[in-house]
């Protein structure tokens, strides 16, 4: 944020004769605050599930359903939110989105039951995010001058996103432990009000904007297709990827039997088919000279295509990493949510330090090379942490991996977004912003799903194998234990296992053995999950090799710096 602000004093750049000055510092601060609370919200509630269950008198599965619905709403409506930036205007869309988000946070803070929480959080906050997030990136891509100022702005927004995601468990864990989870949402309301106060002071020169209309059929097809793909991917941890580990039930009957095709496959296949129909419809709209929801022709641009694929790979690693690491710290090492957040703090600090300096690097090093190095560094950080996932791990042993991962994230964010967003003209910034944010959500869903699926499959296989070999369990009981594992296996701590077995009056020796089984299976599962994230994350490096721009292009940005900015 510092570089961008210093490079653009308020009222100096981007002003048009006779038009009010454009305070770019205030724009950047407002956008960063909005991005922070959105990223914060995507990880914060993971550590407050138990508190919410007790407070609302609901179930864990109910709260998890609200989490899934929140992700689905965001992912499904990102493309639509991007297009509405052209229909309503980008700043208007941002204002509507952040206002809706604030109302949703307020309703959630005072929720008296799960339905009220779903309305406030899953629906209103999800829809608000789908409106404001594409608008954030579209505004940065049009108002901020090309070159160092724009890269600095992307770096600031990216740093806030990573910082919000990393600090979510820390802040919400502290609030849930010592106050209440409701304070977390009230703080979001405060930030929303501050953002709106800044937004009222943002003035931009008026420019004529060609009228745009929303493609309603395209909106339905895109939302449905993205929802089906994301929903399908999220089923992997429960059912597995190919064969259903447990039967899928619905409407009082068995929809898919145990051992049948995993619901992941039909959901994803149907979702892809719907997205292909969406692409065909958009091509028809463009040929007919009508307003399409998305100009799919931009995918022919190498920077856009491989930039979007790199964004998916990047978010895949980041989301998977931030899913596995806190789970291990809390379940395997017995740390509180607040303590786990403190251990992730070094990564957050490195993200900020690197992100605020990456704009200077782009002046002397090709952005493509920075992204490539960042991908490899992030993979290295993930694998370093994976090596430390053992029951005897000490706190300081996580420090190198956290620092390396933070450097990687800080290197990737701004140059990758600048390559992708900068590949299309100003008039298509809303569309590319919606598309890139939709792909970001998709990558995050894949990262969490694959980490969860690898964790559960390893947990079940390892625990089942230990049960079969243990002579202290009667043979007649082993089949039942393994059956229950397949249906109800969860990541639990040793303390939870001990308490449960004591409540069932099981012998102490058996309880101790099951604790050992759980520890070995859980630690191995979490380690395998993180290794899978790191190895698959190498695809991000491969994809980044196809990005354009082998050389730094410092002079190219200068002429645009004095040109009037596009209307927001």
Is pLDDT above 90 for 392?
A: no
Q: Examine the domain organization and report whether 502 and 476 are in the same domain.
A: yes
pLDDT (average), residues 379-391 = 84
Q: Examine the domain organization and report whether 2 and 36 are in the same domain.
A: yes
Residue bearing the bigger pLDDT, 544 or 253: 544
SS3 content of the chain, % helix, strand, coil (to 5): 75, 0, 20
* Contact in structure between 370 and 358 (CB atoms under 8 Å): yes
Percent of the chain with pLDDT over 70: 76
Please give the backbone phi and psi of residue 525, each rounded to the nearest 5 degrees, phi first.
Answer: -65, -45
Residue 70 placed within a domain: yes
Please report which confidence band the pLDDT of residue 274 belongs to, taking 50, 70 and 90 as the band edges.
very high
Q: Examine the domain organization and report whether 21 and 149 are in the same domain.
A: yes
Is pLDDT above 70 for 270?
A: yes
Q: How far apart are CA 27 and CA 108, in angstroms?
A: 27
Residue 565 placed within a domain: no
Q: Which of 292, 318, 342 is the last residue of a domain?
A: 292
pLDDT value of residue 477: 63
| Helices (runs of H) and strands (runs of E) counted in the chain | 22, 2
3-class secondary structure, 64: helix
Q: How many CB atoms lie within 10 A of CB 187?
A: 17
Q: How many CB atoms lie within 10 A of CB 6?
A: 12
Is pLDDT above 80 for 505?
A: no
- Highest-scoring range by mean pLDDT, 133-142, 303-312, 319-328: 303-312
Q: Examine the domain organization and report whether 159 and 145 are in the same domain.
A: yes
pLDDT (average), residues 411-440 = 83
Q: Which of 263, 292, 321 is the last residue of a domain?
A: 292
Residue 563 placed within a domain: no
Please give the backbone phi and psi of residue 254, each rounded to the nearest 5 degrees, phi first.
Answer: -85, 115
Is pLDDT above 70 for 165?
A: yes
pLDDT value of residue 503: 56
Q: What is the 3-state secondary structure (H, E, C) of 92-132?
A: HHHHHHHHHHHHHHHHHHCCCCHHHHHHHHHHHHHHHHHHH
Q: Examine the domain organization and report whether 239 and 345 are in the same domain.
A: no
Residue 567 placed within a domain: no
> Closest Cα to residue 369, out of 162, 564, 134, 550?
550
Residue bearing the bigger pLDDT, 161 or 182: 182
pLDDT (average), residues 134-140 = 86
Residue 256 placed within a domain: yes
Give the structural domain span for 501: 459-523
Is pLDDT above 70 for 3?
A: no
Q: Examine the domain organization and report whether 330 and 266 are in the same domain.
A: no
Q: Examine the domain organization and report whether 186 and 62 are in the same domain.
A: yes
pLDDT (average), residues 105-129 = 92
Place of tokens 């059956």: 483
Please report which confidence band the pLDDT of residue 104 belongs to, taking 50, 70 and 90 as the band edges.
very high
pLDDT (average), residues 469-488 = 59
Is pLDDT above 80 for 246?
A: no
Residue 94 Cα distances to 41, 136, 465, 480, angstroms:
18, 7, 53, 54
Contacts of 424 (CB under 8 A, 6+ apart): 298, 301, 304, 431, 432
DSSP class of residue 255 equals: E
Is pLDDT above 80 for 171?
A: yes
Tokens of 152: 């600095």
Residue bearing the bigger pLDDT, 93 or 498: 93
Is pLDDT above 50 for 10?
A: no
Q: How far apart are CA 256 and CA 248, in angstroms?
A: 5
pLDDT (average), residues 244-254 = 79
Q: Examine the domain organization and report whether 356 and 237 are in the same domain.
A: no
pLDDT value of residue 440: 85
* Contact in structure between 521 and 494 (CB atoms under 8 Å): no
Please report which confidence band the pLDDT of residue 210 belongs to, taking 50, 70 and 90 as the band edges.
low
Tokens of 164: 């919000």
pLDDT value of residue 500: 52
Residue 37 placed within a domain: yes
pLDDT (average), residues 445-471 = 71
pLDDT (average), residues 31-51 = 82
Q: How far apart are CA 216 and CA 225, in angstroms?
A: 14
Q: How far apart are CA 436 and CA 421, in angstroms?
A: 8
Q: What is the mean pLDDT of the chain?
A: 78
Tokens of 180: 């209440």
pLDDT value of residue 5: 39
pLDDT value of residue 114: 87
* Contact in structure between 69 and 182 (CB atoms under 8 Å): no
Is pLDDT above 50 for 541?
A: yes
Residue 226 placed within a domain: yes
Burial of 178 (0-12, 13-18, 19+ CB in 10 A): exposed
Q: How far apart are CA 343 and CA 353, in angstroms?
A: 17
Q: Examine the domain organization and report whether 353 and 428 are in the same domain.
A: yes
> Closest Cα to residue 137, out of 355, 425, 434?
434
Q: Which of 168, 193, 211 is the last residue of a domain?
A: 211
Q: Examine the domain organization and report whether 54 and 172 are in the same domain.
A: yes
Residue 66 placed within a domain: yes
Residue bearing the bigger pLDDT, 291 or 126: 126
Is pLDDT above 70 for 182?
A: yes
Is pLDDT above 60 for 101?
A: yes
Q: Examine the domain organization and report whether 206 and 115 are in the same domain.
A: yes
pLDDT value of residue 17: 37
pLDDT value of residue 478: 59
Is pLDDT above 90 for 185?
A: yes
Q: Examine the domain organization and report whether 444 and 480 are in the same domain.
A: no
Tokens of 471: 């002579």
Q: How far apart are the first and last CA of the chain?
A: 20
Write the pLDDT tens digit of every residue in 317-359.
988 887 777 777 776 677 776 777 778 888 888 888 888 788 7
Number of structural domains in the chain: 4
């Amino acid at each position: 944020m510092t570089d961008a602000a210093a490079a653009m004093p308020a009222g100096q750049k981007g002003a048009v004769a006779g038009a009010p000055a454009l305070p770019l510092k205030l724009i950047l601060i407002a956008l960063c605050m909005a991005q922070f609370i959105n990223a914060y919200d995507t990880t914060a509630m993971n550590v407050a599930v138990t508190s919410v269950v007790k407070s609302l008198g609901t179930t864990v599965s109910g709260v998890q359903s609200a989490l899934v619905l929140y992700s689905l709403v965001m992912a499904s409506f990102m493309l639509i939110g991007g297009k509405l930036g052209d229909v309503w205007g980008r700043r208007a869309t941002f204002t509507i989105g952040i206002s809706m988000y604030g109302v949703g946070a307020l309703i959630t803070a005072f929720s008296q039951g799960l339905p009220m929480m779903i309305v406030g959080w899953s629906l209103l906050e999800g829809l608000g995010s789908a409106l404001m997030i594409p608008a954030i990136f579209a505004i940065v891509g049009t108002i901020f001058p090309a070159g160092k100022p724009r890269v600095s702005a992307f770096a600031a927004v990216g740093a806030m996103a990573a910082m919000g995601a990393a600090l979510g468990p820390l802040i919400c864990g502290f609030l849930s432990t010592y106050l209440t989870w409701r304070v977390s949402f009230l703080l979001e309301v405060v930030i929303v009000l501050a953002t709106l106060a800044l937004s009222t002071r943002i003035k931009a020169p008026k420019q004529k904007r060609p009228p745009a209309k929303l493609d309603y059929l395209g909106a339905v097809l895109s939302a449905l297709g993205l929802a089906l793909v994301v929903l399908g991917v999220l089923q992997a941890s429960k059912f597995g990827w190919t064969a259903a580990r447990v039967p899928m039930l619905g409407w009082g009957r068995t929809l898919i039997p145990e051992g049948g095709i995993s619901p992941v496959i039909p959901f994803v296949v149907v979702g892809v088919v719907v997205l292909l129909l969406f692409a065909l419809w958009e091509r028809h709209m463009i040929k007919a000279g009508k307003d399409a929801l998305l100009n799919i022709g931009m995918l022919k641009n190498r920077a856009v295509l491989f930039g979007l694929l790199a964004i998916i790979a990047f978010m895949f690693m980041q989301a998977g990493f931030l899913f596995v690491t806190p789970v291990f710290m809390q379940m395997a090492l017995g740390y509180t949510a607040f303590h786990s957040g403190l251990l992730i703090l070094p990564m957050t600090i490195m993200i900020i330090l690197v992100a605020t300096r990456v704009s200077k690097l782009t002046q002397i090093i090709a952005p493509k090379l920075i992204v490539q190095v960042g991908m490899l560094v992030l993979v290295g950080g993930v694998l370093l942490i994976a090596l430390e996932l053992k029951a005897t791990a000490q706190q300081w042993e996580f420090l190198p991996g956290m620092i390396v991962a933070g450097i990687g994230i800080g290197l990737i964010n701004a140059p990758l977004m600048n390559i992708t967003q900068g590949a299309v003209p100003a008039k298509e910034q809303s569309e590319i912003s919606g598309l890139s944010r939709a792909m970001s959500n998709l990558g995050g869903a894949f990262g969490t799903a694959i980490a969860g699926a690898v964790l559960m499959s390893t947990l079940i296989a390892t625990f089942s194998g230990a049960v079969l070999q243990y002579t202290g369990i009667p043979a007649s009981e082993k089949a039942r234990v393994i059956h229950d594992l397949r249906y109800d296996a969860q990541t639990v701590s040793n303390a939870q296992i001990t308490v449960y077995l004591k409540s069932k009056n099981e012998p102490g020796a058996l309880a101790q053995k099951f604790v050992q089984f759980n520890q070995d299976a859980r630690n191995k599962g979490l380690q395998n999950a993180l290794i899978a994230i790191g190895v698959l994350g190498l695809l991000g490096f491969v994809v980044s090799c196809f990005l354009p721009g082998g050389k730094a292009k410092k002079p190219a940005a200068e002429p645009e710096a004095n040109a009037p900015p596009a209307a927001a």
